[in-house]
Structure 1
Amino acid sequence: MKIGVLSDTHNAKVYIDKVIPYLEECDLIIHAGDNFSDSKYIHNMTNIDIMAVKGNCDFDNVEEELFFEVEGKNIFLCHGDTYDIKYGMGTIESRAKKIGADIVVFGHTHMPTNIEKDGILYINPGSLALPRGVDYRSFLILNIEKEKINLEEVRI
C-alpha cells in the first residue's frame, strides 16, 4: 500500500497543489495536523481516503490522535505537541510501546525525521509550509508491502 504522509501544511495551498500529483498515486493519505482543514482540501482534490488529526494550531473538533492498522502494521498518528516532541522523543516512545505501534507518524517540529528504535519506526514528513532545520519543503511516501516498509522523502 502506498501512503502519502504530510504535516504542518499551514494552509499553504500553493505547495499543497504541487504535491497533489504525487498524492493521486497513493492508496491512502495521512496528515499529522496543522491545518486540519488542509486534509479536507487534499481529500477533495484527490478523492483518496485520508487519516488526519488536529495539531496545536487547529481548532476543529476532531481527534488529536488515531491508532489504526494498514497492511498488518499498527500506525499511531498524532501531531506531537501533546508529547512534547520538541524536547525529545521519550514521551512519544513510551506511548508507542504501550499501545503496540509499529509506525509512529507525527509533526509539530517541522523537521523531517526517520528513526527506527526498538522495532518502531518514527517518522515526521517535515513541513510543506514552514520547514525548520532544513532548506527544503518535504513530505513522505510510505510503502508497506508484505511486512516490508519503504520510505521515500519527497522534496519540493
Structure 2
Amino acid sequence: MRMLVVSDNHGWDSILTDLKRRYEENVDVMIHCGDSELLADNPAVEGYTIVRGNCDSEDQYPNDVLESVEDCRVFVTHGHRYNVKMTLMNLSYKAKENSADFVFFGHSHTAGVEKQDGIIYLNPGSISLPRGRSEKTYAIVEVDKLQITVRFFDEKHVEVEDMKATFSR
C-alpha cells in the first residue's frame, strides 16, 4: 500500500495538481492535512481526502477524518485543535481512542515522523512554507507486511534522503 501525504500549501493550487498528476495512479490514497486555503470545488483538491486547517475558510472540510486504507486505520487532522505545536499527547489520546495505526497532521510546517506505542505519527511538513528545514516537503508512506517506509520529497519531487524512516510493522 502507498499513501501520499501533503499539508499546508496555503493557496498554492498548482502543486496539488502536480502531485495528483504524478501520483494518483500510483498510490492508494492522497491525503491533505489542511490549510489548503482552497474551496472544496477547486479542481486541485479533487481526489484528496482533506481536512480543515486553522487557515481554511471552507466549512465543507471536516476537522478530522478516520479512514480505512487496506488493513490500516488512518486518522487525519490538521493539528491545531490538538495543540501539536507543543505536544503530541492530545493527538495520541485521540489516536488511541480511534484505534489508529497512522496519524497524519500538519499545522507546525515541520516535517517529521515517529512511532509511539505502535502508532506512526507523520507531519509531512509544508509544501509551501517550511519551518525547521529549507525544503518544502510532502511524504510517501509505503506499507508492506513487514515494514513501513516513509520518504519525504521536495516540491521538485527529489527525495530528501536524510529524512527517510523505516519502521517494523
TM-score range, shorter chain: 0.7 to 0.9
Q: Secondary structure at the match of 1:87?
A: coil
Q: What aligned pairs does 1:137-148 form with structure 2 within 5 A after superposition?
A: 137-146=136-145, 148=147
Contact 2:13 2:44 in 1 (8 A): no
Length-normalised TM-score, structure 2:
0.81
The amino acid that maps onto 2:82 is Y
Between the aligned partners of 1:73 and 1:9, the Cα distance in structure 2 is 26
Residue 57 of structure 2: aligned partner: 59
Relative contact order (alpha carbons < 8 A, sep ≥ 6): 1 or 2 greater? Answer: 1
Question: C-alpha displacement at 1:98, in angstroms?
Answer: 1.5
Question: C-alpha displacement at 1:133, in angstroms?
Answer: 0.6
Bigger mean CA deviation after superposition, 32-41 or 116-125? 32-41
Contact 2:14 2:44 in 1 (8 A): no
Cα RMSD of the aligned pairs, angstroms, is 2.0
Between the aligned partners of 1:139 and 1:38, the Cα distance in structure 2 is 21
Higher helix share: 1
Question: C-alpha displacement at 1:99, in angstroms?
Answer: 1.4
Between the aligned partners of 2:153 and 2:122, the Cα distance in structure 1 is 13
Between the aligned partners of 2:72 and 2:5, the Cα distance in structure 1 is 15
Between the aligned partners of 1:119 and 1:147, the Cα distance in structure 2 is 14
Q: What aligned pairs does 1:15-54 form with structure 2 within 5 A after superposition?
A: 15-16=15-16, 18-24=18-24, 25-35=26-36, 37=38, 40-44=42-46, 49-54=47-52
Q: Secondary structure at the match of 2:91?
A: helix
**Unpaired segments of 5 or more residues in structure 2?**
156-169
Residue 91 of structure 2: aligned partner: 92
Residue 154 of structure 1: aligned partner: 153
- 1:11 paired to 2:11: yes
Residues matched between the structures, number: 152
Length-normalised TM-score, structure 1:
0.87
Question: C-alpha displacement at 1:90, in angstroms?
Answer: 0.9
Question: C-alpha displacement at 1:20, in angstroms?
Answer: 4.2
Contact 2:102 2:120 in 1 (8 A): yes
Question: C-alpha displacement at 1:144, in angstroms?
Answer: 2.5
